[in-house]
Amino acid sequence: IERHRAEDRIRSLAFYDTLTHLPNRRMLEDRMNLAMASSKRSGRHGAVMFLDLDNFKPLNDRYGHALGDLLLVEAARRLTDCVRETDTVARFGGDEFVVMLAELDIDRGLSVGQAAQVAEKIRAALAEPYHLALRQEGAPDLQVEHCCTASIGIALFVSHEFSHDDLLKWADAAMYRAKDEGRNLACFHTEVTATAA
């Protein structure tokens, strides 16, 4: 029993983020490969979303990492609530997350619409105020309400036409465009479509 527990712990450390318990980069890469193989068989599109929290650093700077960690855990929960069980939400690092939508439509235009709909759901969920409570030994509990929106970049894929590194790079670039255009937005990679959600 102890050996099985130790193996489970090692596997968890290898594939999951220790703070949010979301898949980490390594697990995300595996799931992207599976989604691309499935897309090749079905002809259905998938989408990769790169998210960065817009107003996270001021919270960390003012109250410290412990409160920042509480916000990241809550953001992870909200993200997971916005997608299907067949999709993947991963923590990429810091305040960056990646959402992979699998098995969208065969039609590219309809897939863009589906991805935009999910991105809007995510954007709205993450923009809701965060009510954070931190227990402090020898001091009153710290209660903070913080608003933190997200900038989202989206890249569509079908089959193995692009590598997962390219998809992440393009979704990341689209996310920076969303930041440049005012934050709290979702933008698609321009080679996929020029439409901003």
Q: Could you list the active site residues?
A: 95
Please give the Cα distance from 166 to 164 (Å, whole number). 5
Helix (H) or strand (E) holding 186: strand 186-188
At residue 54, φ and ψ (nearest 5 deg) are: -75, -35
Please give the Cα distance from 189 to 38 (Å, whole number). 22
CB 3 within 8 A of CB 66: no
Maximal C-alpha separation, the chain: 59
29's CB contacts (< 8 A; 6+ apart) are: 164
Neighbour tally for 48: CB within 10 Å: 28
Please give the Cα distance from 123 to 79 (Å, whole number). 9
Q: Which residues pair with 130 in a beta bridge?
A: 146
One-character DSSP codes across 153-170: EEEEEETTSS-HHHHHHH
